[in-house]
């Protein structure tokens, strides 16, 4: 990790916004364990920094998608509980044991296979969370006989601990009866088998819409970072989330485009009258997708400027007022929910969702963390 960086394009990450969001969601569910979902490098924000910060403010449980992500956290000194929500290869079970990581069991066959791979060398147990399929049809089983047999297999083996049973909502952010149906199915299935320490199904929209005490834990990702998953969830939610991310840059060069002249690759954008153009040091290799041509970024004085012409790998051009100069600040994604450069507006223009916009911000963009007494920079490129 380097504290240094030598470019104007950066992503500011407001760690205190994470604290605000964590506390607001935990307040709705005081009795539940908050599992902070920090897969995919904490949705692009930096999993080690987010884990360190969240553990300092009291979070004791993290979730990631892969065993490599979990080991990465351990190698950086994260000692809290970690669950891998994806299915690890049964032959890698010893790595999970070695690093004290909880794993997901999607079916009986996986458990049998993982058991057969356990070596004597690591004289420790592994925590197992059984995955229930409550309707999404992605992972897990809905067969209660199979689940009962899975529990027996776990409990009859001294190296396995039956710690959790969980599922995942397919449509928690949609205003329909699907979520209730899946939740009922989950309760029905889990009600028939022995209850472990952690029963969990709620993701961010699930945590914001379902407020009862059936579960013992929440798995919150996107809303920890300050985003609602749909206008519906925002409308019904009692929680005021604080966006944590701001993506900005500064003007790198200026040009005058005379009437009829073209701009960028292919010269497809043509000036209908003389026009001032500013070049920004951010391109699709930083995460600004080529589909963002036509999106309006914002100058510090509030002027909105169109991204004109093709977005390049390392830069893009915007049409600007006459008084714009090299060094002027430009907001690409604002941390203000109500701005036309909000994460939601940006993502909608990109034809995607905030999750994908976040993880697309590439390693070339330094992460600048803000927190009282805890501000620092991580530039992945200059490690
Ligand atoms: C990513 C993920 C989550 C977190 O979802 P958010 O909508 O970001 O809160 C929870 N559970 C599982 C299984 C996931 O894959």
User: Is 85 close to ligand 1, i.e. is its CB under 6 Å away?
Assistant: yes
pLDDT in tens, 6-25: 999 999 999 999 999 999 99
Mean pLDDT across 38-51: 98
CA distance 84 to 128: 10
Residues 6+ away with beta carbon under 8 Å from 197: 163, 164, 216
Instruction: State how far the Cα of 230 lies from the Cα of 355, in Å rounded to an integer.
Output: 12
The position carrying tokens 């147990």 is 125
pTM > 0.85: yes or no: yes
**CA of 166, closest atom in ligand 1:** 13
Calculate mean pLDDT across residues 262-290: 97
Mean pLDDT of 18-33: 98
Helical spans, DSSP H, in the chain: 15-28, 39-43, 47-56, 67-75, 93-98, 108-117, 144-155, 178-191, 204-209, 231-236, 343-350, 354-360
Give the atom of ligand 1 at the shortest distance from the alpha carbon of 204.
9
Contact 168 CB / ligand 1 (< 6 Å):
yes
Q: Domain map of the chain by residue range?
A: 31-224, 245-378
Kindly state if the Cβ of 221 falls inside 6 Å of ligand 1. Answer: yes
Question: Can you state the angle between helices 47-56 and 15-28, rounded to 10 degrees?
Answer: 60
The total number of residues shown for the chain amounts to 383
Give the pLDDT confidence score for residue 143 in this predicted structure.
98
Place of tokens 């005490």: 213
Check if 265 is active-site: yes
Minimal CA–CA distance to 199: which of 24, 188, 209?
A: 188
CA of 356 to the centre of ligand 1 (A): 13
Is the pLDDT at 260 greater than 70? The verdict is yes
Task: Decide whether any atom of ligand 1 lies within 6 Å of the 220 Cβ.
Answer: yes
CA 15 to chain centre: 14
Place of tokens 């000036």: 271
pLDDT of residue 374: 72
User: Which of 24, 26, 63, 171 to probe ligand 1 with, by most ligand atoms within 8 A of CB?
Assistant: 63
Residue among 65, 10, 4 nearest 362 (CA): 10
What is the best residue among 131, 171, 221 to mutate for testing ligand 1's pocket, by most ligand atoms within 8 Å of CB? 221
- When pLDDT is cut at 50, 70 and 90, the band that residue 1 belongs to is low
The predicted structure's pLDDT at residue 303? 98
pLDDT for residue 323: 97
31-224 and 245-378 agree in CATH topology: no
Cα–ligand 1 centroid distance for 220 (angstroms): 6
Q: What is the pLDDT of residue 100?
A: 97
Rounded to 10 degrees, what is the CA torsion of 190, 192, 195, 198? 0
pLDDT for 245: 98
Please state which architecture CATH assigns to domain 31-224.
Alpha-Beta Barrel (3.20)
Q: Which of 23, 119, 192, 265 is catalytic?
A: 265
pLDDT at 383: 78
CA dihedral 47, 20, 287, 48 (to 10 degrees): -10
Q: Which of 32, 39, 81, 298 is catalytic?
A: 39
Q: 179: Cβ below 6 Å to ligand 1?
A: no
pLDDT value of position 20: 98
* Residue 190 predicted with pLDDT over 90: yes
| 131 Cβ below 6 A of ligand 1 | no
Q: Ligand 1 center to residue 122 CA distance, Å?
A: 30
- 277-329 pLDDT, tens digit per residue, is 999 999 999 999 999 999 999 999 999 999 999 999 999 999 999 999 999 99
Strand partners, 76: none
> What's the mean per-residue pLDDT of the chain?
97
Q: What is the pLDDT of residues 329-359, one digit of tens each?
A: 999 999 999 999 999 999 999 999 999 999 9
Q: What is the pLDDT of residues 66-95, one digit of tens each?
A: 999 999 999 999 999 999 999 999 999 999
C-alpha 254/C-alpha 249 separation (Å) is: 14
39 is catalytic: yes
pLDDT number for residue 92? 98
> Domain 245-378 sits in which CATH superfamily?
Lyase, Ornithine Decarboxylase; Chain A, domain 1 (2.40.37.10)
Q: Which residue has the tokens 């006989």?
A: 145
- Of residues 375 and 8, more confidence is placed in 8
Q: What is the pLDDT of residue 372?
A: 86
Is pLDDT above 90 for 120? no
Ligand 1 centre distance from Cα of residue 177 (Å): 20
Confidence band, pLDDT 50/70/90 cuts, at residue 199? very high
């Amino acid at each position: 990790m380097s504290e240094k960086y030598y470019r104007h394009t950066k992503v500011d990450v407001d760690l205190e916004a994470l604290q605000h969001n964590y506390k607001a969601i935990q307040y709705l569910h005081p009795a539940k364990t908050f599992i902070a979902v920090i897969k995919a490098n904490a949705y692009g924000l930096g999993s080690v920094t987010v884990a360190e910060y969240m553990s300092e403010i009291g979070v004791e449980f993290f979730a990631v998608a892969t065993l490599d992500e979990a080991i990465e956290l351990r190698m950086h000194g994260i000692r809290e509980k970690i669950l891998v929500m994806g299915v690890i290869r049964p032959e890698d079970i010893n790595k999970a044991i070695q690093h004290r990581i909880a794993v997901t069991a999607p079916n009986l066959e996986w458990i049998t296979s993982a058991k057969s791979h356990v070596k004597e060398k690591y004289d420790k147990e592994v925590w197992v969370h059984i995955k229930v399929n409550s309707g999404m049809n992605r992972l897990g089983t809905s067969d209660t006989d199979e689940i009962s047999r899975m529990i027996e297999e776990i409990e009859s083996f001294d190296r396995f601990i039956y710690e959790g049973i969980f599922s995942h909502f397919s449509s928690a952010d949609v205003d329909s009866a699907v979520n209730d149906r899946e939740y009922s199915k989950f309760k029905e299935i889990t009600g028939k088998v022995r209850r472990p320490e952690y029963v969990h199904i709620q993701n961010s929209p699930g945590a914001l819409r379902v407020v009862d005490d059936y579960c013992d834990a929440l798995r919150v990702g996107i809303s920890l970072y300050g985003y609602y998953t749909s206008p519906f969830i925002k409308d019904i939610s009692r929680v005021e989330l604080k966006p944590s991310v701001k993506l900005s840059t500064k003007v790198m060069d200026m040009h005058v485009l005379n009437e009829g002249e073209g701009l960028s690759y292919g010269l497809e954008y043509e000036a209908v009258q003389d026009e001032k153009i500013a070049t920004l040091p951010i391109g699709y290799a930083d995460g600004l997708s080529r589909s963002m041509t036509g999106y309006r970024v914002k100058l510090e004085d509030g002027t909105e400027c169109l991204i004109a012409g093709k977005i390049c790998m390392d830069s893009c051009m915007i049409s600007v007022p006459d008084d714009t100069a090299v060094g002027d600040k430009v907001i690409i994604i604002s941390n203000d929910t109500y701005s036309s450069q909000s994460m939601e507006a940006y993502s909608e223009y990109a034809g995607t969702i905030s999750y994908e916009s976040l993880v697309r911000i590439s390693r070339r963009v330094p992460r600048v963390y803000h927190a009282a007494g805890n501000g620092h920079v991580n530039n992945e490129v200059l490690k």
